[in-house]
Amino acid sequence: MATIAKTAEWDARDAASMRAVLDAQRASFTAELPVSAATRRDRLNRALDVVLNHKDRLVAALSEDFGHRSTEMSLVTDIMASVKPIKHALKHLDAWMKPEKRKLDFPLGLLGAKARIEWQPKGVVGIISPWNFPVNLTFAPLAGVLAAGNRAMIKPSEYTPVTSQVMKEILEASFDATEIAVITGGPEVGKAFTELPFDHIIFTGATSVARHVMAAAAKNLVPLTLELGGKSPTIISRSADVAQATERVAMGKLMNAGQICLAPDYLLVPEEKEGEIVEGLKAATAKMYPTMLANPDYTSVLGARHRERLEAHVEDARAKGADVVVVNPAGEDFAKQNTNKMPLHIIRGATDEMTVMQEEIFGPLLPAPRAGSHHLGRGHGERRDLPRLRRRSALWWHRPGRHGQLSRPRWLQAIQPPQGHLQPAQDRSGQSRRLQAALWREDRQGAGA
């Protein structure tokens, strides 16, 4: 009982402390209005310096949190991917701040009225970042927040505590607490964080957690930007170049050990090509990772908790009749390791009843449902589970037909329109524009109206 009381006391302190930071940021924000381009540019440049000057420290922290993480991959997916949005914001800042003229309805124009949109900052934005790319998914939204003239409170994931602490230290060394504050802690702190009356919240993470975030934000009518996971099917048609397609699928699935929201979640293939495609995946994996346990380029699953969750999916699939192909090129013993690395598991004959087909996988497991072409085209587009999880993207491989037209079977036509050899269903640049628009308040002014 004493433990519960003490926990509640600490939770109350955390909530009060966070509210004090929010109030201080909001007061400072209000006093500074209007936020000049020079001020915004200064903050963006400081954020850029934070990433570049501490990149080695951040990469080391990421590897420590994961148990092992490829240095080159961290530099590309977390460091470079953080630098790019900041530089993009610096390049386009003046254009984003420029007022936009608008036409008026009759007869307001005859009365001498004029209308324009002036983009105004919202205030204090809460950023809740996940563990799979903790640096990138903190600094990328932060670029938009600072460019829009806002202040930021950041809650990084408790599953990457070393990286979270490093980000807290390096940001606090370059920014006043009224500009950017980093709040670390576990689920209780995260819960209190989402209940604060922010002017906007940006959340990246699991759909299940997003429901709680959205419910907490609704109490204060806080608008949200949610970037959530889902089941991402990968479709290989009968006309595809199997060697090329499987090489790309293996690369996408094994980057960051499959812990990417856009990683291929499951395979949809014609029945008669399944064996050839499985062999292609095995060959592609062996080419990229001849060994895995001691390979510095092969990333570990984040912690025993996530490894055990993935292993439970595999055992559930086996118990329900799936044929599990473990792709272990060097025949290594993964039971004897100090990390949480896992080889690729291809789950042939996966069904909707298996847990691996009911949740976002986030790991090196690749189910391949065994079904006829009609089921591939329509059944998977209308499955009872997937609409709730959201098909985040769909990728397909095929060859062009005559006269440059795409030659696709009917089951493929039912899933995606013909737009190219590799077509993500979600446009990342479009997502960036939507996020940017959400962080600027649209203020319509009609002089003389």
Residues with catalytic function: 227, 261
Separation in Å, CA 245 to CA 190, 251, 318: 41, 10, 26
Type of residue numbered 137: L
CB 414 within 8 A of CB 378: yes
Task: Report the DSSP beta bridge partners of residue 202.
Answer: 127, 225
CB 112 within 8 A of CB 448: yes
Q: Say which residues have a Cβ less than 8 Å from residue 29's Cβ, sequence separation at least 6.
A: 35, 121, 123, 124, 150, 151, 178
- As given in the structure block, the two tokens for residue 246 are 């499987």
Separation in Å, CA 244 to CA 73, 241, 249: 22, 6, 9
In eight-state DSSP terms, residue 8 is: H
CB 105 within 8 A of CB 428: no
Other Cβ atoms closer than 10 A to 305: 10
In eight-state DSSP terms, residue 78 is: I
- As given in the structure block, the two tokens for residue 345 are 């598991």
Compute the Cα dihedral for 359, 313, 428, 149 and give only its sign. Answer: positive
Cα–Cα nearest to 255, from 298, 212, 306, 201: 298
The per-residue DSSP string of 321-344 comes to T-EEEEE-TT---TTS-SS----E
| Stretch (H or E) spanning 398 | none
Other Cβ atoms closer than 10 A to 126: 26
Type of residue numbered 12: A
Type of residue numbered 209: V
CB 131 within 8 A of CB 74: no
CB 411 within 8 A of CB 373: yes
Cα–Cα nearest to 234, from 223, 247, 221: 247
Separation in Å, CA 303 to CA 64, 160, 257, 265, 399: 10, 10, 12, 20, 40
CB 79 within 8 A of CB 51: yes
